[in-house]
Amino acid sequence: MIYIKSDAEIDLMKKAGRLAADLLDRIEPYIKPGVTTLELNDLIHGWTLEAGGISAPLNYKGYPKSICTSVNDVVCHGIPSAKTKLKEGDIINVDVTPIVGGFHGDSSRTYPVGKISEKAQHLIKVTQECLDRGIAEVRIGARVGDIGAAIQEYAEACGFSVVRDFVGHGIGRTFHEDPQIYHYGERGRGQRLEAGMVFTIEPMINEGDWRTKTKKDGWTAVTIDGTLSAQFEHTIGIRSDGRVEILTT
């Protein structure tokens, strides 16, 4: 069941989206060797409350923290911890989802920690470009498969792989709703995009094998071969006039 949003609802969603972007801007200077992922969690949790928001991940299906922090081979859903201290050369994805006025805004970025290897820089750059190419496919009448194909073609041409175990999602008053947005696939296939749809695109791109496994904590997803994984995420809305808007900027 896809919940179609009015332009007024999309306007409201921009408040949550803008806060998500602010949080990701504000956390950047703290991402340095020596900081723990719990410290990043606590900063973002505090800023969210100050802004009148709520951190959606906290207690979501039993998730224990306010953000996800996914370091190196962690694909997604890394749990912030006092034991996870960032070191020079790491890459970390920070994924935030504040709720403002009842609506969710979901966004993530992958940051370098100090000086990183050239291959890590390349993976981050390609993953950002995958998100941009996915967004460029969004229009009324396009198909979910058009988004997936654009991402998959570029990632694989660059020698990387696309994670299949996690997908983008419709979003609104609930965190995850229909439609599912695959980051791989075939043009012309899948759900047709319509005015009033709001959904995330959030490609996870691996250096090696696309397969993942989940750790015993029930959340932390890692690459099966231990290679690096990067991710970027935006929440996208389609206005009644067909205009496509990135809500998380």
* 200 CB-near residues (< 8 Å, 6+ apart): 106, 168, 169, 171, 181, 233, 234, 235, 236
Using rule CB under 6 A, residue 174 touches ligand MF3: no
Using rule CB under 6 A, residue 212 touches ligand MF3: no
Decide which of Co ion, ligand MF3, none touches 63; Cβ closer than 5 to 8 Å per partner kind.
Answer: ligand MF3
Chosen residue from 5, 77, 109, 183 binding ligand MF3 by CB under 6 A: 77
Written as one string, the DSSP assignment of 143-165 is BHHHHHHHHHHHHHHTT-EE--S
Which 185-204 residues touch ligand MF3, going by CB under 6 A? 200, 202
> Which of 152, 235 has the CB closer to Co ion?
235
Using rule CB under 6 A, residue 63 touches ligand MF3: yes
Q: Give the largest Cα separation in the chain, rounded.
A: 49
Q: Which span (14-22, 56-64, 95-103, 239-247) binds Co ion, by CB under 5 A?
A: 95-103
Buried b (16+ CB within 10 A) or exposed e, 201-222: bbbbbbbbebebeeeeeebbbb
Chosen residue from 48, 97, 161, 248 binding ligand MF3 by CB under 6 A: 97
- Token reading at 12: 């409201």
Smallest distance from ligand MF3 to CB 207, Å: 21
Using rule CB under 5 A, residue 200 touches Co ion: yes
- Token reading at 230: 């990067």
Chosen residue from 19, 20, 27, 68 binding ligand MF3 by CB under 6 A: 68
Phi-psi region of 144 (alpha: psi -120 to 50; beta: other; left: phi over 0): alpha
Decide which of ligand MF3, Co ion, none touches 84; Cβ closer than 5 to 8 Å per partner kind.
Answer: none
Using rule CB under 6 A, residue 179 touches ligand MF3: no
Residues in the chain: 249
Smallest distance from ligand MF3 to CB 131, Å: 12
> Which of 69, 108 has the CB closer to Co ion?
108
CA R_g for the chain:
17
Q: Which span (27-35, 56-64, 82-90, 189-197) binds ligand MF3, by CB under 6 A?
A: 56-64
Smallest distance from ligand MF3 to CB 57, Å: 3
* 234 CB-near residues (< 8 Å, 6+ apart): 107, 131, 135, 200, 201, 202, 246, 247, 248, 249
Decide which of Co ion, ligand MF3, none touches 83; Cβ closer than 5 to 8 Å per partner kind.
Answer: none
Asked if residues 190 and 167 have their Cβ atoms less than 8 Å apart, the reply is no
Chosen residue from 73, 106, 146, 207 binding Co ion by CB under 5 A: 106
CA–CA dist 194, 72 (Å, integer) = 36
Helix or strand holding residue 108 (H, E): strand 107-112
**Under the rule (CB under 6 A), what is the footprint of ligand MF3?**
57, 60-61, 63, 68, 77, 95, 97, 106, 200, 202, 219, 233
